[in-house]
Amino acid sequence: MAQSAVAEKDLRKLSRSDLLEMLLEQTEKVEFLSAENEKLSGQLQECREKLDQVESLRAREAYLESLISKIESALNTSQARERAALKSLLEAKPETQVKEDDLLSQITIPFKLPKAFHAKDRQQLQEETKDIAHRGKHKKKLEGKK
């Protein structure tokens, strides 16, 4: 309190022009700091928005990775079942000398895509699967002609 009383006494001794000059300096400082505060608040908001986007992307990435993992697991399980079925067929009929490739081309895998795939993605994947199967059959026909 002693300091504020001294400062008050010093202020009372100053002339009006000195007081106005001090008031003008303080007003300029307040305006500068307000502008700086507004600028920094805007930058902070932009950073928060970017962080929200990154978190959203990370969540999507994690979801897609879990889908890929489930698809790979289902595919591995299906392939294991196919191999077991092929092995049992080959062991059951050794006299027919059936080739594994011939059996693989005849087996179709009923594979359901997760609901998360859009119809467009589903259609594209089905078309690619058909294209791969068609190329495999075409390759065998060419090999048979040689």
The answer to whether the beta carbons of residues 36 and 43 sit under 8 Å apart is no
Distance from C-alpha of 60 to C-alpha of 62, rounded to nearest angstrom: 5
pLDDT tops 60 at residue 23:
yes
Distance from C-alpha of 125 to C-alpha of 129, rounded to nearest angstrom: 6
Residue ranges per structural domain of the chain: 15-95
pLDDT tops 80 at residue 64:
yes
Question: Could you read off the pLDDT of 121-137 as tens digits, one per residue?
Answer: 666 666 776 666 666 66
Question: Could you read off the pLDDT of 30-50 as tens digits, one per residue?
Answer: 999 999 999 999 999 999 999
pTM metric for this prediction: 0.40
Mean pLDDT of 87-101: 62
The answer to whether the beta carbons of residues 82 and 100 sit under 8 Å apart is no
